[in-house]
A and B are shown apart, each in its own frame.
Chain A
C-alpha cells in the first residue's frame, strides 16, 4: 500500500533523471531534527527519493562508560541519555540493580517513583507537543505547552533539586521525601490541567491546517510496527495495545487504574492523539498516587558498596517514547561487566527511511516530529 502511494506522488517523468535529482543534507544542525541528527535526502524537486539517517554525532560510549563505573556511579549517566524523561531512566536502572541484588523497596518510595515519573512523562509530552507543532509551523502552541511544562519543572525542582537531568531515585528507595506542599502542588496541577487541556484541543486538534498536515501523513502499518521494533505512542498509534506498564508491570502499576490509549489509523494525527490522551491518563495516575500515598520509610537499608551476585538481568520500563530495556551482566564485582541499553528512539528512527520515501520534504519533517526522537538517546 505504501509503495502504490509512493508511485502516485513521484513525478514519473523526471524520476531517475539524474539531472534533476539532488542531495540535500538535513542536519546535523537543523531545527527540524531536534538535535544532532543528520539525514541525507536524495531529492527529486520537493519529493524525497530516499532518506538515510546518519547517526553518531552525539555518541558518548554510554555502554562502555557504564563498564568502568560502579553501579551507583552509573546512575547520573542515565539522565544524560534521554534528558526529557530522566526519571524513567532512573527507574530502569534502580529497578534493575534492585532485581539483581534482591533489595526491597518501601511502598511509599514506589508511590513517589510513580508520581514523579508520570509528572516527567507529561512534561516530556508537552515538550514534544510544542516542538512538533513548531515543525508544522505553529508557534503559539509551543509557548502554550511550555507554560504548563514549567509548572511541572518547578514542582519537580522543589523535590529533586534539578529541573531536567534528575538523579533522584536511589537503590532501595528515593532521594527525598514528598511533603504536603508538594502533594498539594501536584494535585493543583492535575486540577489545572484537567480544565486546561481543552484549550489544547481548541487551539490545535480541531485546527483545519493541522489536520490537513497530519491526517494520512506518514502512515505506519501494523505489519511494520513489529518488524521495526517500534514501541511507545508510535506503536499505539498503529492500533497495537502494547505498553510495558501493562504487559510486564513493574512497581505499583498493576494496582493503579488507567487506560492505555490506542488509535487505529497509524498516521501523524493518530500519534498526536495518543500522546494527548496519555497526558490525561498520567493525570489519572498522579491523582491516584496522591490519594493513596502510604506513610512509612522512603528508603530501605542497602549496603554502601553494591556488589550484585554473579549473573545477568534485564529490566524494561515504559518511557514517554517507548520501551527502554537495560541488560546488565554482573561478575560479582562492584563494576558491571556489561551493560546494554535498548532505547526506544533508536528503533523508532529506523522506520523513518521507509516513511519518508515519496513524501514531500515538509511532510517528512512532520513525520520526523511525530516520532518524538531524542537524539542523545539514539546516539547514546
Chain B
C-alpha cells in the first residue's frame, strides 16, 4: 500500500465525515412541513385560487356588468358570460357566468381587464377532485346573489 493511497483514504474519510456532520446537525433542527389537512398552511394575501365574482356591498348582487371584457382577455377562452338588464336597472347584470377551471392558467388577465373590479382570485387552495365536471363548469354566480333568481333556477 503506497502512501498516496493511504492519503486518499484519509481525505476521503474526512470529506465524508464533514458531510455527515451537516446531515446530523440538520437532523436536530425542526421540521419544515405542515401536516395538511390536520393543520393548514398560511395562505398569502396575493394567493391565486380560481377566480370569483365580487358582490356589491349594498345588495349582495354581483358587481359584474356583463361587458365580456374578461372573456375576451382570457387566453384560454375559459370564461363564458351572458347578461341582461334586470327590470328598472341601468346596467346589465350577468345571467350566466361559467368558468372552465380545467384550462385556466391563473394568469390574472381577466382580473386586470375588468373595468369595474368585479372579479378577484379566491383563496381556496384545496382544488383537487376525482371528477372533471365540478371544475370544467364552475358556476361562479352561485356564490353571489343575483336579480335573476327565477331564471337561474331553470338552469
Contact = CB atoms under 8 A, between A and B. Distances in A.
Contacts of A157: 44, 46-47
Interface residues of A, number: 33
Given A69-B75, A150-B32, A203 B105 contact: no
Interface in B84-108: 105-108
Given A144-B22, A170-B112, A206-B15, 9 more contacts: A76-B75, A161-B46, A161-B47, A161-B48, A161-B106, A161-B121, A165-B105, A167-B106, A209-B16
Contact of A140 (B15, B21, B23): B23
A202 B16 contact: no
B2 interface: no
B73 interface: yes
Contacts of B74: 73
B22 A167 contact: no
Which 6 residue pairs across A and B have the least CB separation, nearest first?
A: A76-B107, A73-B75, A208-B12, A161-B48, A161-B46, A167-B107
Nearest to A165: B105
A343 B121 CA distance: 32
Interface size class of B (residues with CB under 8 A): 20 to 34
A130 to B, nearest CB: 14
Contacts of B22: 144, 199, 202-203
A77 interface: yes
A87 to B, nearest CB: 14
A162 interface: yes
Interface string A179-217: 000000000000000000001001110111100000000
A144 B26 contact: yes
Given A73-B75, A162-B106, A208 B48 contact: no
A175 interface: yes
A245 to B, nearest CB: 27
